[in-house]
Amino acid sequence: MRWTIKPKPDSEKIQTLKETLKVDETVATLLLQRGIETYEAAKTFFRPSFEDLHDPFLMKDMDKAVQRIENAIDNAENILVYGDYDVDGTTSVALMSSYLKTKTENVATYIPDRYDEGYGVSYEGIDFAEDNGFSLIIALDCGVKAIEKVAYAKEKDIDFIICDHHRPSERLPEAAAVLDPKRNDCNYPFKELCGCGVGFKLICALAKKEGQTPEDLVEYLDLVATAIGADIVPIVGENRALAYFGLQVINSNPRPGMKAIIAEVKKDELTITDVVFIIAPRINAAGRMKHGNHAVTLLTETDFNLAAEYAVDIDQYNTDRRETDKRITEEALVQIEEKNEQERFTTVVYDENWHKGVIGIVASRLTETYHRPTLVFTKSGDKLAASARSVKGFDVYNALEACSEYIEQFGGHKYAAGLTLLPKNYEAFKSKFEDVVEATIDPKLLTPELKIDLEISLNEIDDRLMRILKQFAPFGPGNMSPTFMSQNLRDTGWGKCVGEDKTHLRLTATQSHNDKIVAIGFGLGDKIDLIQNKKPFSAVYTIDENHWNGNISLQLKLKDIKA
């Protein structure tokens, strides 16, 4: 791995912030690296408030969206809440539908079938709306590029309100309202909301017309926090406040469906990391293995006993998903080895029998293995469908755009995208994608980078520092858990490989005679020779709490070690 230490902030700024906040140099440095330079900025960071949230009516078309929904409620129109089958989509649908049902009975939900309809707004969904008398569709986490489909709905006298956060094309759909902070003509101050976040801003706007504030809508924030974590949006600005309060709801008073998922986990207090690795995969598994409707049903259920039954099914889908993605990952690795493609700038693999629901996860795993832009294809009807994942610093969306002559449809973000193409174009696309990436990627991005906040000594690690570091949470893009480096460490002599397959490394690090701290390195078992015989080594790590038998002790979570 490539170790990169972040530049140290200006020493005068460090000194000023130290004195202003009465903190030590380590904490002042970490705050400045996150753009926090004043008492007020630190207060906002450490004590998120509902006052940090922007007026929803600053978003372009918000007034139109509210007016159209109010008209629909007043005229007893049937409203269809439509969203994608992933976590952001299903949580958005659960949020919007459960809120609207407090205003009108004429609300139903629609999640497209991942396999029959694919991603985003579908003609089948619009036909369903027509057949069942819906005159308004609220599309969440999708729709900003659905120009033809919105026009198709308009022919059938069905209006669309779009709540999206993906990059729009230059032309927007002719909807009643298009809410997307990434619109070029939208002056909303925060651009990084997830789809569920945009949906939350819409219900905030509706509630504001009735004299309510976001604080009155806190019960919906468990859904918003889950979507923020799952969609890997930056946890800064509004997202930080929404995630902060959403985690409080998850840990104190979650909706029955969320409570049922958590009951399976048996953990006292969940962090945003737990949301990403425990709650989100289970919600996602419904759309991957069965149908996204199951997730919406779970998340909108008000009876805990029923929710608990649904959660058992969801848990089984997640187990099936894990087994499937493990098998396909192994098959993909064999395919790469057999074709001797380890030295390429890209990974592009295909098998017509691979499960479409897990190819995104497989793409992520292959990206971790080879650290290069990756596409995993499978058969989808008469086309090939793929999930794309990228390495940090490289925009895979732009790379796909450069190959658009071979692509039928694509969409997504800088680091994750989806596409379809005709089988006859697969080889030409694969070749063009390799050429585009080779010509545009900085070669150093092909070596994983480990960003280090600063170097510290082991004797600086104590309970007081840990108390402050915990207040940096919730962590995520834009505010990752502080990562430290220490040099000239030695193991006390008891370091060993641990775990069922002995792939993890456990040691007790010391730097001078009076400081000792346990360190655990998951997946670092192959580096045991670096620490044996008390050889000096350097380590990169985060600081963590180890809970064992009712005792809490500090430990290092190793990310990498070097001689």
Beta carbons of 34 and 125 less than 8 angstroms apart: no
Task: Give the residue-averaged pLDDT of 427-431.
Answer: 96
Is the pLDDT assigned to residue 106 strictly greater than 90? Answer: yes
Per residue in 509-521, pLDDT (tens digit) is: 999 867 899 999 9
Beta carbons of 142 and 411 less than 8 angstroms apart: no
User: Is the same domain home to 264 and 344?
Assistant: no
Instruction: Identify the CATH number of the domain in which residue 96 sits.
Output: 3.90.1640.30
Q: Is residue 353 part of a domain?
A: yes
- What is the rounded CA–CA span in Å between residue 134 and residue 127? 10
> Rounded to the nearest 10 degrees, what angle do helices 293-300 and 87-100 cross at?
50
Query: What DSSP designation does 307 have?
Result: H
What pLDDT shows up at residue 546?
87
Is the pLDDT assigned to residue 266 strictly greater than 80? Answer: no
Domain boundary residue among 272, 297, 313? Answer: 313
348 falls in which pLDDT band (50, 70, 90)?
very high
What pLDDT shows up at residue 165?
94
Per residue in 447-503, pLDDT (tens digit) is: 999 999 999 999 999 999 999 999 999 999 889 999 999 999 999 988 999 998 899
User: Is the same domain home to 274 and 141?
Assistant: yes
558 falls in which pLDDT band (50, 70, 90)?
very high
Q: Is residue 23 part of a domain?
A: no
Q: Is residue 548 part of a domain?
A: yes
User: Is the same domain home to 423 and 490?
Assistant: no
User: Is the same domain home to 177 and 303?
Assistant: yes
550 falls in which pLDDT band (50, 70, 90)?
confident
Q: Is residue 476 part of a domain?
A: yes
User: Is the same domain home to 423 and 508?
Assistant: no
User: Is the same domain home to 419 and 503?
Assistant: no
- The pLDDT > 90 percentage for the chain reads 85
Is the pLDDT assigned to residue 181 strictly greater than 90? Answer: yes
User: Is the same domain home to 469 and 442?
Assistant: no
In this structure, which amino acid lies at residue 30? L
- What is the rounded CA–CA span in Å between residue 557 and residue 39? 31
Q: Is residue 201 part of a domain?
A: yes
Mean pLDDT, the chain, integer? 93
Task: Give the residue-averaged pLDDT of 77-85.
Answer: 96
Is the pLDDT assigned to residue 264 strictly greater than 80? Answer: no
547 falls in which pLDDT band (50, 70, 90)?
confident
Beta carbons of 504 and 520 less than 8 angstroms apart: yes
Domain boundary residue among 446, 462, 483? Answer: 446
CB atoms within 10 A of CB 160: 27
User: Is the same domain home to 559 and 471?
Assistant: yes
What pLDDT shows up at residue 493?
86
Residues 6+ apart with CB under 8 A from 58: 187, 188, 189
User: Is the same domain home to 289 and 403?
Assistant: no
- Phi, psi (rounded to 5 degrees) for 138: -105, 110
Task: Give the residue-averaged pLDDT of 530-540.
Answer: 94
User: Is the same domain home to 257 and 130?
Assistant: yes
Beta carbons of 519 and 511 less than 8 angstroms apart: no
Which residues of 372-530 form beta strands (DSSP E)?
A: 374-380, 383-389, 409-412, 416-421, 449-452, 454-455, 484-491, 496-498, 504-510, 516-521
Q: Is residue 323 part of a domain?
A: no
Residue 6 to residues 30, 453, 493, Cα–Cα distance (Å): 10, 5, 32
Instruction: Identify the CATH number of the domain in which residue 401 sits.
Output: 3.10.310.30
Domain boundary residue among 425, 446, 467? Answer: 446
- The CA-based dihedral angle spanning residues 303, 308, 310, 312, taken in that order and rounded to the nearest 10 degrees: 180
Q: Minimal CA–CA distance to 181: which of 172, 173, 189, 169?
A: 189
- What is the rounded CA–CA span in Å between residue 105 and residue 73? 9
442 falls in which pLDDT band (50, 70, 90)?
very high
Beta carbons of 157 and 101 less than 8 angstroms apart: no
**Domains contained in the chain, number:** 3
Q: What is the pTM of this model?
A: 0.90
User: Is the same domain home to 299 and 408?
Assistant: no
- Phi, psi (rounded to 5 degrees) for 140: -120, 140
Per residue in 288-328, pLDDT (tens digit) is: 888 889 999 999 999 999 999 999 999 999 999 999 999 99
